[in-house]
Amino acid sequence: MSDTNPRDKRFNALAADMRWQKAWDDAQSFKADDASPKPKAYVLEMFPYPSGRIHIGHVRNYTMGDVLARYKRMTGHEVLHPMGWDAFGMPAENAAMEKKVHPGSWTRENIASMRAQLKKLGFALDWSRELATCEPDYYGHEQALFLDLLDAGLVYRKESAVNWDPVDMTVLANEQVIDGKGWRSGAPVEKRKLSQWFLKITDFADELLEGLTTLDAWPEKVRLMQENWIGKSKGLQFHFNFVGGRRAFEVFSTRPDTIFGASFTAIAPDHPIAQDLAKNSPGLAKFIAECQQSGTAAADIETQEKKGFDTGLRVEHPLDPEHHLPVYVANFVLMDYGTGAVMGVPAHDQRDLDFARKYGLPVHRVIADGDADDIVFEGKEAFTGEGRLVNSHFLNGMGVDEAINAVIAKAEHDGWGKAKTTWRLRDWGVSRQRYWGTPIPVIHCESCGPVGVPRDQLPVVLPEDVSFDIPGNPLNRHPTWSKVDCPKCGSPARRETDTLDTFVDSSWYFLRFASQPDDKPFDPEIVKQWMPVGQYIGGVEHAILHLLYARFWTRALKRIGKLDVAEPFAGLFTQGMVTHETYVLPGNFLSEDGSIIFLPEDVIFVGDFYHKDTQQRVIYSPNSDGGLAHYVSPAQIRKVGERAYFGASEVELAVGRVIKMSKSKKNVVDPDEIIEQYGADAVRWFMLSDSPPERDLPWTESGIEGSWRFVQRLWRIFGESDAKASGEDKALLRKMHQTIDGVAKDIEALSFNKAVAKIYELANAVEKAPPSASRNETIRALMLLVAPMTPHLAEQGWNEQGSATLIADAAWPEVNPALLVEDEATIAVQVQGKLRDTLTVPKGLPKEELERLALASDKIIRTLDGATPKKVIVVPDRLVNIVI
Ligand code: ANZ
Ligand code: ZN
């Protein structure tokens, strides 16, 4: 290995990367010690899916975590900073089908190459705790935890709809349904009912909501998204009677104040009444079948056209039995929310208004919009704001809240309804009809029903001899695997062939990182020492499901006494994405009306679509994803000055948006290539420097080159330490201490770009300063300051200063608080209001002393030219103004 020559002006990054990565490995520098008496710090980044290659988003994510982990070590903490693999899931099965490789070997090969890539970045990871969720020594423990929850009554079985591909005869995952069609067969997907396993997350709805208030180191927006997802709604549940008095159905409304504005009622397509009516109405049966074809995800419902079928039935208004309302079956009413039926108040609910306008139903205003209070409501936009009640009998004049309470009180008094709290949160269906997942440890027996696999028979291991040449779950058609005897009665029984949702795997991996005994999932005593994770870092795309499931799983284990931690992640940070310019063939990038197309990765859905950065409501259609655009890969771009052309042709390319790097947009840069070219430290530095970490970071050639130059500049500065230099440089020392203090605070706040800016400034100051002992001290401090960010460079510099120990083990430099405050003041000396001199004096000099010094200045004496001052105005530490 060619070593870096200290007199070499260039920093040989690749040699240093290799040398120090090996040194850390040999010294096991980053192995976390459970028994350490030091205060503990758990730094965790969301573990990657082993798709094959590390992408730049990973690099940014893990660099941030790494800086924090290294900094924590330097400030005296025992740090747990582990890495592993979220290794089950669909892509491995797709690869198996397409490339005829086993999902296991595909996954393990990917892990091997991604591990090698991560190692090249010099992350301070405790590799001894590495885990992969696809290995029996992980998922076997998950099976044990599943059985614990089953025993505790937190798991149950229920019929639930799946996506069924009628051509491939297989269940499809949601990702495999594209525009309502199977991804391979193209056949319209049907809904089928299957008996599936559910986890009772709704039992925890209140705690999960309540717990959010304790998470003050989480981004506000993530807490809000979780809150909306849990969706606690208070309102009135009440029943309608059919005309004539027979009881009809119950509805749930959060706005019972608007009850006099109701002009129709609607029930879900799978509401029992609708199902019943359909038996004698082919028209309704056809309508229901249509509804079931389109997606039932809340997001689909929002974007679909509102459609209904008039059943011909009529119900009485509960407060005015003379008033009759039609009963529709409508596609926007969900069976599993509230009661599966609604009252429609078109003037004050947008969906109801769309519906009413389509079917010509009355639209009556019952909430005044400013002065507008007439009963006939015009327009296509519902009024959902606050206002006084109008056209509403005894409610007239009340505010919304008052009227809600009044209607609830009346309903409860008269006996037709009750105050009710409804939740949006549903129980978590965890059954997946797939091979590459954790086998659900249950055996189905004809006489005993579902029986948990006895614990001494865990893990239930996936069979290796499976084939993927036909669609469907190979576990179902395996000749022997599912054939077992009932653990209870011994008669022939069938092993469960569904596997667990991969979100289960990621709901407890952070516990297994903290403690991984062979005989149980974790040791709660050891877990307690590390947990909660101090800082969790990942993408905002996991703001809802992953984080909610992990919070639930932790609380469930606490409830059954397996764990003494309530919230798994004390601190959460969601980092921005790495973006890059795109080039597109002209013509089809913007939508026809010129409006901006929001890409799926730009939006989040929380009851409505919001832009992920601005949190503004946006218009988004899942189909208008810009997928029409023809993105052009760098190899096909020919640049002539500012212009870009397609290959050798004269077709000019449009510069597309700067968007998240992704294969389909052909704008990725390969981490391996850039590490090879610039070294790990320049890449790490760039990831931290240009943008605040929560914002997107545009990748640019000039940016990475700038980082590379700065690494080289630091290297030159490190070489300028001069053993013979002596003397103090107070100003430089002050700058140094201020920087140490500021960088520490910035790292703790994860404001890496600010820390970087301060380091740039200190480097500038060192370059300008003449040699001195203080300058040597500052150069040393500079090495320590960049050690978390550019660790290879820092080690190399440290080593060449003659240090026998690693900078990875060094302590963060101490701050001298006395040097944080400025102790000198610069005084402006004015004559007749004009600046004539400046004086540098100790802070806090008395007025008389400042006046004396000012009048003694040569420049002032010359300016005064013998004139006698009439008046001298002194502002301590700032100014002396002489009036003549
Ligand atoms: C009348 C009304 C008037 C409503 C009004 C809203 C505004 P959140 O807040 O999300 O809980 N709703 C109730 N059950 C439904 C179901 N199964 N499918 C679709 N919509 C349903 O929503 C509660 C509101 O959503 C309820 O209040 C109901 O419409 C509708 F100016 O009742 B509301
Ligand atoms: Zn049995």
* pLDDT tens for each residue of 313-359: 999 999 999 999 999 999 999 998 899 999 999 999 999 999 999 99
Pairing of strands 535-539, 572-575: parallel
Nearest ligand to the CA atom of 443: 2
Q: Quote the pLDDT of residue 181.
A: 82
Q: Quote the pLDDT of residue 640.
A: 85
The set of residues, in sequence order, having a beta carbon less than 8 Å from that of 379 and lying 6+ positions away, is none
Q: Residues 280-295: what's their mean pLDDT?
A: 87
Please state, in angstroms and rounded to a whole number, the distance separating the CA atoms of residues 797 and 808. 12
Judged by DSSP in three states, 136 sits in helix
Q: What are phi and psi of 192, to 5 degrees?
A: -125, 150
Considering the entire predicted model, what is its pTM? 0.84
H-helix or E-strand spanning residue 678: helix 671-678
Residue 347 · residue 382 · CB < 8 Å: yes
- 136 alpha carbon – ligand 2 mean position (Å): 26
813 DSSP assignment: P
Residue 481 has pLDDT above 70, yes or no: yes
- 543 alpha carbon – ligand 1 mean position (Å): 25
Which of 26-40, 61-75, 92-106, 513-527 is predicted least confidently? 92-106
Identify the band that residue 302 occupies on the pLDDT scale cut at 50, 70 and 90.
low
The set of residues, in sequence order, having a beta carbon less than 8 Å from that of 86 and lying 6+ positions away, is 47, 48, 49, 50, 133, 502, 505, 506, 509
Nearest ligand to the CA atom of 451: 2
Residue nearest to atom 18 of ligand 1 (CA): 333
706 or 178: whose pLDDT is higher? 706
Q: Quote the pLDDT of residue 635.
A: 75
The closest alpha carbon to 474, from 492, 458, 457, 462, belongs to: 462
Residue 647 has pLDDT above 80, yes or no: no
The closest alpha carbon to 787, from 881, 653, 684, belongs to: 684
Alpha helices in 386-479 (DSSP H): 400-414, 474-477
- 870 alpha carbon – ligand 2 mean position (Å): 110
Residue 638 has pLDDT above 90, yes or no: no
Q: Quote the pLDDT of residue 842.
A: 85
The set of residues, in sequence order, having a beta carbon less than 8 Å from that of 799 and lying 6+ positions away, is none
Pairing of strands 308-317, 483-485: unpaired
Q: Residues 594-607: what's their mean pLDDT?
A: 56
Q: Quote the pLDDT of residue 209.
A: 98
236, 255, 363, best to mutate for ligand 1 pocket (most atoms within 8 Å of CB): 255
Q: Find the farthest-apart pair of alpha carbons in the chain and give their distance in angstroms, rounded.
A: 119
| Letter string b/e over residues 476-506, b meaning 16 or more CB atoms within 10 A of that residue's CB | eebeebbebebeeeeeebebbbbbbbbbbbb
For the purposes of burial, counting CB atoms within 10 Å of the CB of 456, is it exposed (0-12), middle (13-18) or buried (19 or more)?
A: exposed
Q: Quote the pLDDT of residue 624.
A: 39
Q: Quote the pLDDT of residue 3.
A: 47
Q: Residues 605-630: what's their mean pLDDT?
A: 56
H-helix or E-strand spanning residue 421: strand 417-423
Q: Residues 383-410: what's their mean pLDDT?
A: 97
For the purposes of burial, counting CB atoms within 10 Å of the CB of 175, is it exposed (0-12), middle (13-18) or buried (19 or more)?
A: exposed
Residue nearest to atom 11 of ligand 1 (CA): 233
Closest ligand 1 atom to Cα of 259: 1
| Letter string b/e over residues 826-858, b meaning 16 or more CB atoms within 10 A of that residue's CB | ebebbbeeeebbebeeeeebeeeebbebbeebe
Q: Quote the pLDDT of residue 621.
A: 46
Q: Which amino acid is located at 21 in the chain?
A: Q
Q: Quote the pLDDT of residue 726.
A: 94
Nearest ligand to the CA atom of 494: 2
549 DSSP assignment: H
Cα 667 → chain centroid: 22
The set of residues, in sequence order, having a beta carbon less than 8 Å from that of 635 and lying 6+ positions away, is none
Q: Tokens standing for 555?
A: 């609380």
- Percentage above 70 pLDDT, the chain: 92
Please state, in angstroms and rounded to a whole number, the distance separating the CA atoms of residues 861 and 839. 14
Closest ligand 1 atom to Cα of 340: 17
Q: Residues 780-800: what's their mean pLDDT?
A: 98
Identify the band that residue 611 occupies on the pLDDT scale cut at 50, 70 and 90.
low
Q: Which residue has the tokens 């990054």?
A: 13
Residue 234 · residue 426 · CB < 8 Å: no
Q: Quote the pLDDT of residue 626.
A: 42
Identify the band that residue 613 occupies on the pLDDT scale cut at 50, 70 and 90.
low
Please state, in angstroms and rounded to a whole number, the distance separating the CA atoms of residues 103 and 468. 10
Q: Which amino acid is located at 647 in the chain?
A: G
Give ligand 1 pocket residues (Cβ under 6 A).
Answer: 233, 252-255, 258, 332-334, 337-338, 340, 342-343, 345, 348-349, 422
Please state, in angstroms and rounded to a whole number, the distance separating the CA atoms of residues 512 and 526. 10
Q: Is the peptide bond before 103 cis (omega within 30 degrees of 0)?
A: no
Closest ligand 1 atom to Cα of 347: 31
H-helix or E-strand spanning residue 493: strand 492-495
Q: Residues 440-465: what's their mean pLDDT?
A: 97
Helix 752-768 to helix 773-786 angle (10° resolution) is 160
The closest alpha carbon to 794, from 717, 873, 724, belongs to: 717
Q: Quote the pLDDT of residue 597.
A: 47
Residue nearest to atom 25 of ligand 1 (CA): 253
- 453 alpha carbon – ligand 2 mean position (Å): 12
Whole-number Cα distances in Å, 150 to 70, 205, 562: 41, 19, 14
Q: Which residue has the tokens 């899942």?
A: 622
237, 328, 337, best to mutate for ligand 1 pocket (most atoms within 8 Å of CB): 337
Q: Residues 693-711: what's their mean pLDDT?
A: 94
Alpha helices in 231-281 (DSSP H): 272-278
Please state, in angstroms and rounded to a whole number, the distance separating the CA atoms of residues 861 and 865. 6
612 or 572: whose pLDDT is higher? 572
- 623 alpha carbon – ligand 1 mean position (Å): 27
Identify the band that residue 822 occupies on the pLDDT scale cut at 50, 70 and 90.
confident
598 DSSP assignment: P
Residue 132 · residue 82 · CB < 8 Å: no
Please state, in angstroms and rounded to a whole number, the distance separating the CA atoms of residues 228 and 489. 46
* Residues that place a CB less than 5 A from ion ligand 2: 445, 447-448, 486, 488-489
- 442 alpha carbon – ligand 2 mean position (Å): 12
Q: Quote the pLDDT of residue 300.
A: 59
Write down the mean pLDDT value for the chain.
91
Q: Quote the pLDDT of residue 604.
A: 66
Judged by DSSP in three states, 540 sits in helix
Please state, in angstroms and rounded to a whole number, the distance separating the CA atoms of residues 207 and 214. 11
Q: Residues 859-867: what's their mean pLDDT?
A: 92
Residue 191 has pLDDT above 90, yes or no: no
Q: Quote the pLDDT of residue 485.
A: 97
Identify the band that residue 269 occupies on the pLDDT scale cut at 50, 70 and 90.
very high
Q: Residues 157-164: what's their mean pLDDT?
A: 90
Q: Quote the pLDDT of residue 603.
A: 61
